[in-house]
Chains A and B, each alone.
Chain A
């Protein structure tokens, strides 16, 4: 009986720790959401701690009125949709042949890819490469330049390998070629894996900022994350330079940024509960090395 009492005690203890941890993970989102619906003055004076105060839609209204933001939002959607489609296509091109153990030269190609995981050219040569290719300040650079993730090629290859060879053999008997086998057997059977790979690409593209910041100068091409970065940096710089700067400006800007954050994470948060299982699966297939 003593055993079970201590078990209960430790279960309770563990539950408390996990609840606290969840609260810490969730709180910033709740705060940002509440702040985005509150008045600027309530946020600045610290009246907003958990729930919104002086509920107003002002910051969302000013988002609607801001041109650059919608342009950036559209760009992000474009980069995500077109980029993900292109990435999946190229990933299949690599993963499918590499999943066939009969392919001559397979080991070499696999090493060719893996090597880039351990050794990279670095920022400057990568940047100069884009410059030489004439891809600076083009949408192509964002879509094509970062299309392949070696990790996802390996993930998809592992999945293709798990499909029994006998299916392929019987299709061959019926006279199907490799492309037909891929289209009519492998791709339909790999839907969960393709969804996983596509989602990981899509989230990555939705969230990426670094290379877009470096490669794109034209304001009309930048994605949301780069715009957000500019806004946040500008804001903290302003605050530093002028102390508190003119109060009205600070108020609107702060809640405006919170609202922008909400608008930018909304698509991910909305689909997240439905798609979580794919990510978990993907992490597990990809995380376990053969």
Chain B
């Protein structure tokens, strides 16, 4: 009974081995065939490992009592202590609320702005005029946030900013806009989100409109649809996939509100409405040297962002069948 089985085994095993060997051989020839492509990929992947993935390894300091001398791996573990310190600090709720509010108002005012601009531009028949408007509104996108912040601070300066000069000319009282918490969100969304990017973001929507089948408009005209009805029933539905994708991206970066530009515009007097999680990470972590709490706050930010992208994508897929993946 034994011998036939072992015979079978013996015949099978070498066969399997040779099968594997063949596969390996095939893989080798394929890799050899594309050797230059792989060679090219090496520096590229190395860059990602060193500058994107190695910092992720460093994230562990969020769970450690980090000391500069002991380094990342030498510092002792403390569990969730740093997170507790962040969650219990007075900044956590305030900054979370600020993040939410800035995004909420951004979604109400800044998100639809380029859609409206694209719809308006689409109605313009004179190509010269259309191009000129596009060129002008696109320009601020190329100006650095430092300069935009500089222009904003100068325009709104309390004593001799142009806005206050106007207010005084019309008989009003000068206002120190940048030092007043109630104005911060308006200033930030108006300058950094709308003024800077409305023209730039409109381009993507214009591309989406250009992709709509012209026959649809012909058919609608035959049915007697006026301009407004064509926009409502053809243009907008045609833009919907693009709108949804940008909305997902927008929600995904919910916590990543432009902290680089907030840092330029806020000041201690406006922290109560302007400070968001990442500006806190910058202040407490990088400027204050409180690395571990900063890293914990940053990790919280990253994880929530990741969850938000996935949830937004899933929701969009369910509701509109449109998703990023």
Contacts and interface: CB of A to CB of B under 8 A. Distances in A.
7 contacts: A21-B198, A90-B44, A104-B31, A122-B55, A122-B295, A125-B55, A283-B203
Interface of A: 3, 6-7, 10-11, 14-15, 17-19, 21-22, 24-26, 28-29, 31-32, 43-46, 49, 90, 92-94, 96-98, 100, 102-104, 109, 112-113, 116, 118-129, 132-133, 144-148, 177-179, 203, 206-210, 214, 225, 228-229, 232, 235-236, 239-240, 243-244, 250, 254, 257-258, 261, 264-265, 268-269, 272-273, 276, 279-280, 283-284, 287-289
Most chain A Cβ neighbours within 10 Å, of B37, B41, B303, B306: B37
A7 B98 CA distance: 44
B286 A32 contact: no
A11 B51 contact: no
B123 A265 contact: no
B143 interface: yes
A287 B203 CA distance: 9
A268 B143 contact: yes
Interface on chain B toward A: helix, strand, loop, or mixed SS? Answer: helix
A265 B140 CA distance: 10
B34 A128 contact: no
A129 B179 CA distance: 35
Nearest to B52: A116
A214 B162 CA distance: 32
Contact of B144 (A32, A93, A148, A206): A206
A11 B120 CA distance: 9
Contacts, number: 251
Contact of B146 (A28, A229, A254): A229
Given A15-B129, A276-B138, A97 B195 contact: no
B165 A122 contact: no
Given A25-B140, A25-B195, A276 B133 contact: no
Interface stretch (B3-11, B87-95, B153-161): B153-161
Contact of A124 (B38, B140, B252, B285): B285
A142 to B, nearest CB: 12
Given A125-B61, A178-B36, A236-B157, A22 B132 contact: yes
B197 to A, nearest CB: 11
Contacts of B139: 25-26, 29, 269, 272
Interface in B258-299: 260, 263-264, 267, 278, 281-282, 285-286, 291, 294-295, 298-299
A119 B302 contact: yes
A128 B143 contact: no
A112 B44 contact: no
Contacts of A264: 144, 147
Contact of A21 (B71, B133, B153, B160): B133
Most chain A Cβ neighbours within 10 Å, of B30, B51, B285: B51
Contact of A207 (B30, B145, B200, B281): B145
Contact of B51 (A21, A26, A129): A129
B158 A129 contact: no
